[in-house]
Structure 1
Amino acid sequence: MSTYKAPLADMRFVLFDVLGAEAQFQRLGYTDATRDVLDAVLEEGARFNETVLAPLNAIGDQIGCSHDKATGAVTTPPGFKQAYTQFVEGGWSGLTAEIKFGGQGLPHAAGVPLKEMIDAANLAWGNFPLLSHGATEALLHHGEEWQQEVFLKPLVEGRWTGTMCLTEPHCGTDLGLLKTKAEPQADGSYSISGTKIFITAGEHDLTDNIIHLVLARLPDAPAGSKGISLFIVPKIKVARDGSIGEANAVRCGSLEHKMGIHGSATCVMNFDGAQGYLIGQPHKGLMAMFTMMNTARLAVGLQGLGLSDRALQNALRYSRDRLQMRALSGAKFPELPADPIIVHPDVRRMLLTCKALVEGGRVMGYDAALQVDIAHASGDEKERADADALIGFMTPIVKACLTEWGVECTYHALQCFGGHGYIAEHGMEQLARDARITTLYEGTTGIQALDLLGRKVMQLQGAGLRVMLEKIERFCADNEGNAAVAEFIGPLRAKAGEWQQLTMAVGKRAAANPDEVGAAAYDYLMYSGYVSLAYWWARSVAASEASSQSARFKTGKRETARFYFARLLPRSQAHAITIGASVETLTGLDAEAFDV
């Protein structure tokens, strides 16, 4: 069975030494977010995840959720409900929510380490409260005052959970094709009818009520995505005054049988004239839903990070204990019958790859969350605008790269176990199976790539990219004479310049043929991820050398950064070459000729 220990030392390093989060929080007006408070959150979060959630991970995978076809009820795996009760009683559900709605009012970035711990400890369980945060954000930014008063407080408190109901059997990414209908009623509510699939936590036994946020079409809706509206549809009817009514006409038709995350209820939801309330303006539902979706995309990126870290922890433990052969250069542990496999270069390659992607990815993911706080609370208009542009630019990178690297790291970690990694009792194959979904839901890697290059770069004229390049140049200029990072400054500057040139080249080709965007998007996304990580590794080394961390810690950061720049950053060159390849290399083969 795999185990989990929250990496508190590195989490603290990222928050306080690299990002300067405590000073940032105070500057932004989060006066309660002191070091003492944040340390307490980390310590208690670690205790809850290590002792309550982590032991349930294998149980959830083995037993899964069950569905009663007669009633539509879904029962979660043993222990899940009790764990959720402890989660709510501990106040974790409202950690970063506004105080006026029952939250604790801490900054968004203060909740990110807890999110990473949950994902590493028990990803499937973590999906139940996951979308409640997204639903809260959608209602906070787009809901009417009465909707916020009635629905936000129980969501923040964790008494209710939320869902995001987009996908239908015939449409996933192309939401303009959706068919779910919303008919206006005399009392101002709407009758919602249709079927939604792949609904995470659509039905469960953890709470008394579930608040579905549902995309549907009004009778006068224009065709396509411009005719979509968003509705609140509770499992149990809720009146405008907050009073609870009878069961709504919404029911779980079945559970999906999945490759992984067996403990997470992935539901087919049938709405049969269910009572709902319009959120925001008619036909503007996609805008409100994207508020929820962007929050969820950053959260899914953290899922990839959490799984990678747990996989690395277990692979490292095994590699130190497993004896097999001697080092090629001679016995390293002559007192033992064989050397631990960690002495072998190829095992070290896999472990260091995971370490570099996990620790670098942690800084990248945590900074994205900090930018959310800056965009929300900074008193400087330009700083808010820059942070908002950077969030938009980095969201598809964080989501796609941390999850793609999550798949890579869980497979590397499994490989370290050899054949034992393929055996269920070690828990490594579960991590690999669970990781696979993270590249798919909340928008596949291909969709993130199109969002990054097509929208964030081309349509928005690279506003977020400019902010990122300015950050890189500022760091390089500030560290010109810093011997600790001198070896990284030149390569980082060169990559930043190449990034800019590649972007301009793609833009020029796309002006002649829009298909060039789709052809280059994936490689542009991954290139952007590797260069971004180079920046964060250089900053990590600078921060560690300037900190009071131990010599061993500093050596770990410096040597891992060297490994990253020497062995992982060169991957960006392959992506750069592929970005320059003509779209004809993808379109030259007729669809009918694929099977010839």
Structure 2
Amino acid sequence: MPSYTAPTKDIQYVLHDLLNISGSDISGYGDLEPEFTEAVLDAAGQLASEVLTPLNAVGDKEGCRLENGVVYTPTGFKGAFEQMKEGGWTGLDLPEQYGGQGMPYIVGTAVGELFSSANQAFTMYQGLTHGAVSAILVHGTDAQKDLFMPKMVSCEWTGTMNLTEPHCGTDLGLMRTKAEPNDDGSYKISGQKIFISAGDHDMAENVIHLVLAKIPGGPEGIKGVSLFIVPKYKVNADGSVGEANGVSVGSIEEKMGIHGNSTCVMNYDEAEGYLLGDMHKGMRAMFTMMNEARLGVGMQGLAQAEAAYQNAVIYAKDRLQGRAVTGAENPDGPADPLIVHPDIRRNLMDQKSFIEGARAFLYWSASLIDAGHLKGDKDAEGLVSLMTPVLKGFLTDKGYEATVNAQQIYGGHGYIEEWGMSQFTRDARIAMIYEGANGVQALDLVGRKLAQDGGKHVMAFFEMVKGFCKENNGEDMADFVEPLKLASKDLQAAGMFFMQNGMKNPNAALSGSYDFMHLFGYTCLGLMWGRMAKVSLAALENGTDDPVFHETKLATARYFMARQLPMTMTLLKRIESGADTVMALDAENF
């Protein structure tokens, strides 16, 4: 069975050496001293490794089951969820007013990585609830917040998001779910939703669904969509659970992965619901939840890659296979360990350089969310809005690739279920699809986010990279700055291509959108590795009690700059080839 150990040391490095969170002027960051965050991470890591990790294979094997209208989670999930609730982990970064602990979002992100690495399917139950709470917090009335949030923050009640219907996924304007107004201000919700993660289960006494539906007589298409709070059981005025609502589970989806999460078909038969936010403005309210969820899904790509990598390293060090080409390194044994071979090293370095760069990128983005929410920094909000499709799309694509690479280290054993490596690959695969498939993320990036606020935020990113390179043009940083300059030029050239060709030939821009999302992702990780190299060089120069850690960080940074970042040149060439080859065939010729 695979194991998992929380990478606390590297997380602490990102939080304190790189981001210097305790020295930030963001509200609440001053309390995040290294000793405090280490204690939080150690406690979360213990729960992750000792409780959640052993249940990961259990959930994968057993899955969830629907019996007589009741959804049962895998063996051990209910007890683990009780431990999660008792420890206050479900409300770590949620308002104290509603029973949360009020910590900044970046702390929740770090802890979320640990839990997701240990057991992604399990962690989704509280993750979906967190997103629903965020939507109610921003768009709900005071009465709605007081009624629903305390028990959702504690996960006595959990939450979901209901968007997709059998006939429509991304194109939500086609939805058919209806919301008929009642005389008392509530609505009768009728329709069917599919792919509803954590749609129902036996770990909470109520499930609060956020459901997109159309009020008759409203505008056509997406402009006529509203968002509703629809509880599984009606909630009495005193907050107690009342009678059953018109909500039922039609079936549980049989999936490639995340078997421990109950992905449900949900049926609404004149269920009582309550408008959340403004009428016909449901997508505005839902995007509050979806943007947070997209960053969380990007985190899942990183988390599965980390767990798979840890096990691949253990196997590569233990498995004896062949001899090193430069001479035996284990002369007393029948063969050398796999890790002596250059191709195994390349594979592991690909994984390691992605994971550590992605972690820095993710946590930096979480700090931008905190800057926007806690100090009203509109520039930070704009920048993280630009980065959201990159975080979601690039981190899940490359995270999935990392799990495949980790599986490859095992050879044939990686393909055998007994060893557990295939679960990381199967679980990671969904992250490229849900919360907006990665192709849609690329379209959002190129079609909307680049031009947002007149292109202000992408220009700010270019200036950020340019400023970093200018400030660090010394010889000691040349290995990191020069490749970053080239990548940034490739990114700007791609943006210029879209500007020059996008209006007259939109297909030219959209044909290159996926490549651009990856080009942007590589450049972001390049900036993170440049920043980490600067930090570790300074640590070695000033005298550190752990020189090996920082020397390892620099070696990994050099690998990324030399072997990964040059991918931007290939991606630019693909973008500049335009749409002709992409659109050349008539549909019937496929």
TM-score band, normalised by the shorter chain? over 0.9
1:471 to 459, 464, 468: 464
CA distance in 2, matches of 1:282, 1:534: 43
Candidates 482, 497, 502, aligned match of 1:490? 482
Q: C-alpha displacement at 1:549, in angstroms? A: 5.6
- Distance in 1 (CA, whole Å) between partners of 2:185 and 2:209 is 18
Structure 1 residue 36: deviation in Å?
2.9
Task: Tell me which residue corresponds to 1:94.
Answer: 91
Q: Indicate the SS of the match to 1:585.
A: coil
In the TM superposition, residue 484 of structure 1 has moved relative to its aligned partner by: 3.6
In the aligned structure 1, how far is the partner of 2:335 from the partner of 2:556?
Answer: 27
Whole-angstrom distance in 2 between the partners of 1:453 and 1:420:
41
Task: Identify which of 534, 554, 561 aligns with 1:558.
Answer: 554
Classify the secondary structure of the residue corresponding to 2:40. Answer: helix
On the 8 A contact 2:48/2:114 being kept in 1, the answer is: yes
Q: Residue type matched to 1:61 in 2? A: D
Query: Kindly tell me: are residues 325 and 243 of structure 1, through their superposed partners in 2, closer, same or farther at Cα, counting changes over 3 Å?
Result: closer
Matched, 1:235 2:227: no
Counterpart check, 1:583 vs 2:576: no
**Aligned partners of 1:340 and 1:102: how far apart in 2?**
51
In the alignment, which residue of structure 2 is the partner of 1:448?
441
Q: Does 1:574 align with 2:570?
A: yes
Q: Report the number of matched residues.
A: 586
Residues 84-141 of structure 1 deviation map (CA, whole Å, 9 limit, x = unaligned): 0000000001100011111111100011111111111001101111111111111111
Q: Determine the C-alpha separation between the residues in 1 that align with 2:246 and 2:328.
A: 69
CA displacement 1:151-182 (0-9 Å, x = unmatched):
11111111111100000000000000000000
1:412-450 deviation per Cα after TM superposition (whole angstroms, max 9, x unaligned)? 011000001111111101111111111001011101101
Q: Please tell me whether the aligned partners of residues 146 and 240 of structure 1 are also in contact (alpha carbons under 8 angstroms).
A: no
Supply the AA of the counterpart residue of 1:44: A
CA distance in 2, matches of 1:116, 1:428: 19
Q: String of CA shifts for 1:318-345, please: whole Å, max 9, x gaps.
A: 0001111111122122222211110111
After TM superposition, the score normalised by the length of structure 1 is: 0.96
Q: Secondary structure at the match of 2:334?
A: coil
> Partners in 2 of 1:583 and 1:509 — Cα distance?
10
Per-residue Cα deviation, 1:486-520 (whole angstroms, up to 9, x for no partner) = 22112212322331222021121011022223211
**2:428 is aligned with 1:431:** no
Q: Would you say the 8 A contact 1:386–1:464 is kept in 2?
A: yes
CA drift of 1:561 comes to: 1.2
Distance of 1:398 and 1:555 partners within structure 2: 27
In the alignment, is the contact (CA less than 8 A) between 1:234 and 1:276 conserved in 2?
yes
Indicate the SS of the match to 1:210. Answer: strand
- Structure 2 vs 1, CA of residues 186 and 90 (structure 1 numbering), >3 Å: closer, same or farther? same
**Residues 283-305 of structure 1, C-alpha deviation per residue, up to 9 Å, x if partnerless?**
00000000100000000111111
Residue aligned with 1:88, SS = helix
Query: Percent identity of the aligned residues?
Result: 48
Equivalent position amino acid for 2:55 in 1: L
Are 2:293 and 1:296 equivalent residues in the alignment? Answer: yes
For 1:109 and 1:29, the matched residues in 2 are separated by 11
- C-alpha distance in 2, partners of 1:205/1:572? 47
Find the counterpart in structure 2 of residue 47 from structure 1.
Answer: 46
Using the TM superposition, give the Cα deviation of residue 570 of structure 1 relative to its aligned residue in structure 2, in angstroms: 1.7
Q: Which residue of 2 aligns with 1:21?
A: 21
Structure 2 residue aligned with 1:2: 2
Residue 274 of structure 1 aligns to a residue in which SS?
strand
Paired with 2:38 and 2:324, the residues of 1 have a C-alpha distance of 41
CA contact (8 A) 2:483 2:565 kept: no
- Once residues 3 and 258 of structure 2 are traced to their aligned partners in structure 1, the CA distance between those partners, rounded to angstroms, is 17
2:253 to 246, 252, 256: 256
Q: TM-score of the superposition, structure 2-length normalised?
A: 0.97
The residue type paired with residue 403 of structure 2 is T
Q: Give the RMSD, CA atoms, in angstroms.
A: 1.3
**Aligned 8 A contact 2:23 2:29 in 1:** no
Give the corresponding residue for 1:134. Answer: 131
Check conservation: 1:93, 1:158, Cα contact below 8 A. yes
Query: 2:497: which partner in 1?
Result: 505
Distance change in 2, residues 1:434/1:191 (3 Å): same
Aligned to 2:385: 392
Structure 1 residues 186 and 402, CA gap change in structure 2 (3 angstroms): same
Q: Assess if the C-alpha contact under 8 Å between 1:203 and 1:267 holds in 2.
A: yes
Q: Does 1:542 align with 2:529?
A: no
Contact 2:257 2:426 in 1 (8 A): yes
Question: How far, CA to CA, are the matches of 2:575 and 2:545 in structure 1?
Answer: 40
Q: What CA distance in whole angstroms lies between the structure 1 residues aligned with 2:365 and 2:402?
A: 21
Counterpart in the other structure of 2:37: 38
Deviation at 1:568, TM superposition (A): 1.1
Aligned 1:142-153 pairs, distance under 5 A: 142-153=139-150
State which drifts further: 199-208 or 507-516: 507-516
Which amino acid in structure 1 is aligned with residue 460 of structure 2?
Answer: V
Q: CA deviation at 1:477?
A: 2.4
Secondary structure of 1:461's partner? Answer: helix
2:520 to 503, 508, 528: 528
Unaligned runs of 5+ in 2: none
Contact 2:480/2:530 (8 A) holds in 1 = yes
Q: CA deviation at 1:459?
A: 4.8
Distance 1:31 1:363 in 2: 20
User: Which residue identity does 1:180 align to in structure 2?
Assistant: T
Q: 2:339 aligns with which of 324, 328, 342?
A: 342
The separation in 2 between residues aligned to 1:413 and 1:93, in whole angstroms, is: 31
Which of 172, 187, 194 in structure 1 is aligned with 2:191? Answer: 194
Provide the rounded CA distance (Å) in 2 between the counterparts of 1:472 and 1:491.
Answer: 12
Equivalent residue of 2:228, what SS? strand
Report the Cα distance in structure 1 between the residues aligned to 2:323 and 2:163, rounded to whole angstroms: 55
Q: Which residue among 311, 316, 322 is the counterpart of 2:313?
A: 316
Distance 1:201 1:250 in 2: 14
Alignment of 1:406 with 2:399, yes or no, is yes
**Residues 32 and 150 from structure 1, CA distance in 2 versus in 1: closer, same or farther, beyond 3 angstroms?**
farther
- Distance in 1, matches of 2:21 and 2:32, equals 9
Letter in 1 for 2:548: R
Offset at 1:451?
0.9
- Measure how far apart 1:470 and its partner are: 2.1
CA contact (8 A) 1:456 1:463 kept: no
Using the TM superposition, give the Cα deviation of residue 240 of structure 1 relative to its aligned residue in structure 2, in angstroms: 4.8
Q: Distance in 2 between matches of 1:484 and 1:183?
A: 67
Amino acid at match of 1:7: P
Compare 460-469 and 307-316 and name the one that shifted more.
Answer: 460-469
| Cα contact 2:28–2:104 (8 A) shared by 1 | no
Relative to structure 1, the CA distance from residue 9 to residue 484 in structure 2 (aligned partners, 3 Å threshold; closer, same or farther) is farther
Match of 2:203 in 1: 206
- Residue by residue over 1:435-488, the C-alpha shift from the partner in whole angstroms, topping out at 9 and shown as x without a partner, is 11110010111011011111101354333212222221222222223x442221
Do the aligned partners of 2:445 and 2:517 also contact (CA within 8 Å) in 1? Answer: yes
**Structure 1 residues 336, 462: closer, same or farther in 2, change over 3 A?**
farther
Look up the equivalent residue of 2:517 and give its one-letter code.
Answer: L
**Counterparts of 2:97 and 2:29, CA distance in 1:** 15
CA distance in 2, matches of 1:17, 1:47: 23
Q: Does the Cα contact within 8 Å between 1:229 and 1:284 map onto a contact in 2?
A: yes
Distance 1:426 1:89 in 2: 32
Instruction: Give the SS at the match of 2:324.
Output: coil
Is residue 12 of structure 1 aligned with residue 4 of structure 2? no
Q: What is the match of residue 589 of structure 2? A: 593
Gaps of 5+ in 1: none
